[in-house]
């Protein structure tokens, strides 16, 4: 699967998780998340912009957001590392 596809799938998966968590626990975030606001929050979190308008307020929500950030950054960094290694090895 291409990196862009993985990035989109991860964003969609976390959108559903955030919407379900908000529906199950209305204290999970500082505001109730609709499917649209869950998508918005997922995009803002995944891009590591973090406007701060929606914030996780429970421990479970914070853990999920932290996992989302780590996974998102990893999806970008690992291919960049492989590209760097390819460039270094091609010069030798």
Q: What's the predicted TM-score (pTM) here?
A: 0.83
Give yes or no for a contact between 26 and 57, defined as CB atoms under 8 angstroms apart.
no
Please give the full DSSP string across 21-55, using - where no structure is assigned.
Answer: HHHH-TTSBSSPPPHHHHHHHHHHHHTT---SSS-
- Check which CATH number belongs to the domain holding 66 and give it: 1.10.287.70
Residue pLDDT, tens place only, 17-57: 999 999 999 999 999 999 999 999 999 999 888 899 999 99
Report which of residues 76 and 43 the model is more confident about.
43
For the chain, the domain total comes to 1
Residue 57: domain span: 3-91
């Amino acid at each position: 699967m291409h990196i862009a596809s993985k990035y989109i799938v991860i964003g969609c998966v976390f959108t559903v998780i955030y919407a379900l968590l908000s529906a199950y626990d209305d204290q999970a975030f500082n505001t109730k998340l609709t499917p649209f606001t869950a998508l918005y929050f997922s995009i803002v979190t995944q891009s590591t912009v973090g406007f701060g308008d929606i914030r996780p307020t429970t421990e479970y929500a914070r853990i999920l957001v932290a996992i989302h950030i780590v996974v998102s950054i990893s999806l970008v960094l690992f291919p960049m590392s492989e590209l760097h290694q390819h460039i270094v090895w091609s010069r030798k």
